[in-house]
Amino acid sequence: MSDISCPAPAQSLLKRGDRTARRHAAEARFRACGLGAILIGLAALAVLLASVLTSGLGAFRQSYIHLPIHLSEAELDQSGTRDTEVMKKVTTIGYGKVIDKALAEAVAQAGIAIDGLTDDDISGIISREAAAQVRDMVLSNPDLIGETIDLSVLANGRIDGYLKGRVTAESAALDSNVSPAQLQLADAMMERGLLSLDFNAAFLTAPDASDQRPEAAGLGVAILGSAYMMLIVLALALPIGVAASIYLEEFAPKNRLTDLIEVNIANLAAVPSIVFGILGLAIFINFAGLPQSAPVVGGLVLTLMTLPTIIIATRASLKAVPPSIREAALGLGASRMQAVFHHVLPLAAPGILTGTILGLAQALGETAPLLLIGMVAFVREYPAAPPEGLFDPASALPVQIYNWTQRADPAFVERASGAIIVLLAFLLVMNAAAILLRRRFERRW
C-alpha cells in the first residue's frame, strides 16, 4: 500500500499560511480585549463592594454600656400611682439624671480613677438617646419602677467611633465633643466589661435620629416605607402591565394607533425618573391632594415608572410563546381568551415574573422621584399598618442613604454605607428570587 505514489499537495496542510496566521492573531487580540473588559468590570465591582463593606459593616455593630439602673420612684413617679399619663410629665432630662447616677456609681464601684475626669465627662459617654430609650421602656411597663434592672444603653457616637477606630486620642484632643479622658474611661470600662461592641439590631428597626445622635439612627421607617411602596407597585403595576401587554399582544389590531402606543411605551421606559417625580408632584399631590412624604404617592409614582418595564418584559415573553400553542388551542375551539389564559400566559409566566421583579428592584433603588414628592423629610414616627399607614409620612431606603450622606458627623458615613449594604442585600434577594422563579416555572415545549 505504501508504494502508491501521491501527487505533492498544492498547499501543504502542515504549513500554516500567512492569511491563516493573521486571522488567528486577530481572533487572539479580540479575545484578549473581551477578557480585559470583563476584568475591568470585575475590578470595578470588587472596589465598590470592598469600599462599601469596609465602611459600612461597622454600622451593624454598636457600642453599648451595660449598667444596673435603679429606677427610683422618687425620681420617676412621685405620685406613686403608676399612671402613665402622670408619669409622662417626667421628661428625658429626669431619666437622664437616673442613668447618670447609675453610671457614676458603676464607675466608682469598678474602681476606675482617671486624672482630669469630671462628672460631666462620665455622663457624656452615654448617648442622649439612652434617656429616651429608658423612658419609653418604663412608660410601656410602669411596674419596673422601684426595681434595679440590668440595661444596655447606647454609648455616645464618639465613644462608638473610638471603639471602631474612627476616633483616636489625637483627634479627641481637637474635638470639643469628646475628651482624651473619656477615651481612657472607655478603655477602662471595656476592660471591666461595662462597655462593649454588640450586634446592632436597632440599625434595622429603629427610626432615623437627629444630627447629634448618629449612634441611634436606624433604617426601620425607611425599610417600612420602601416595603409599602413595593406593595403598591406590585399591586398596581403587575395587573395593569400584564393586562395592557396581553391586550396589545393578543387582541389589539395591528394598525397605526397600536404602533404609536408601542413606540410611546418604549420611549416611556427611557424617560428619566425625575420626570416621573415632577408628574407625581403635579398630579398626585397638587391636583389630587394626596399627602406629601406618603408611601402611597411614592408607590404611585414608582408604578408609573415601572409600568413600561413590565409591559416590555411581558410582551417579549408573550411573543416568545410559540404560535403553534395558540393554533392548537384555537383549533380545538378555545376562544381567544381561553387560549391566552389557559396556554399562553402560563408559558409566559416565568418571563413576566422575572420582568416584574427586575422592575420592582429598579423601583426599590429609585431616589430622584421620591425627593420631589417630599419623601426626603425627617421621619421618626413609624407609619401605621396598611392601608391607613400608606398615607402616613415615611422614608425610603435610597432616600435615607442620600439623607445620611449629607450629614456632617462622620458616623453617618458609616450609617449610609451600612444602609447601602441593606439595600444591596434586598436587591440581591429580589434578583435571586427572579432567577429561582424562572427556574421553577420554566417549562419546555
Give the helix/strand (H/E) hosting 197: strand 195-199
Counting contacts by CB under 8 A, is residue 319 touching another protein? no
Counting contacts by CB under 8 A, is residue 256 touching another protein? no
Residue 431, all three cell numbers: 434578583
Tracing cell 464607675 back to the chain, one arrives at 107
Counting contacts by CB under 8 A, is residue 191 touching another protein? no
| Nearest approach, Cβ of residue 284 and another protein (Å) | 39
Which one of 154-162, 294-302, 333-341, 415-423 is the stretch in contact with another protein (CB under 8 A)? 333-341
Maximum Cα–Cα distance for the chain, whole Å?
123
Counting contacts by CB under 8 A, is residue 329 touching another protein? yes
Counting contacts by CB under 8 A, is residue 342 touching another protein? yes
Counting contacts by CB under 8 A, is residue 439 touching another protein? no
Extended strands (E) in 33-171: 61-70, 148-154
Q: Using CB under 8 A, which of 330, 371, 424, 430 touches another protein?
A: 330
Please give the size of the binding site for another protein, defined by CB under 8 A. Answer: 22
For 149, the 3-state DSSP assignment is strand
DSSP string computed for 97-108: HHHHHHHHHHHH
Counting contacts by CB under 8 A, is residue 189 touching another protein? no
Burial of 129 (0-12, 13-18, 19+ CB in 10 A): buried
Q: Using CB under 8 A, which of 17, 338, 428, 432 touches another protein?
A: 338
| Nearest approach, Cβ of residue 347 and another protein (Å) | 7
Q: DSSP letter at 219?
A: S
Counting contacts by CB under 8 A, is residue 257 touching another protein? no
Counting contacts by CB under 8 A, is residue 246 touching another protein? no
Which one of 54-62, 288-296, 330-338, 410-418 is the stretch in contact with another protein (CB under 8 A)? 330-338
Counting contacts by CB under 8 A, is residue 111 touching another protein? no
Counting contacts by CB under 8 A, is residue 440 touching another protein? no
Give the helix/strand (H/E) hosting 390: none
- Is the separation of the CB atoms in 413 and 386 below 8 Å? no
- Is the separation of the CB atoms in 403 and 425 below 8 Å? no
Counting contacts by CB under 8 A, is residue 347 touching another protein? yes
419: Cβ contacts below 8 Å, ≥ 6 apart = 56, 59, 219, 222, 397, 400, 401, 404
Give contact residues for another protein (rule: CB under 8 A): 253-254, 322, 324-335, 338, 342-343, 347, 443-445
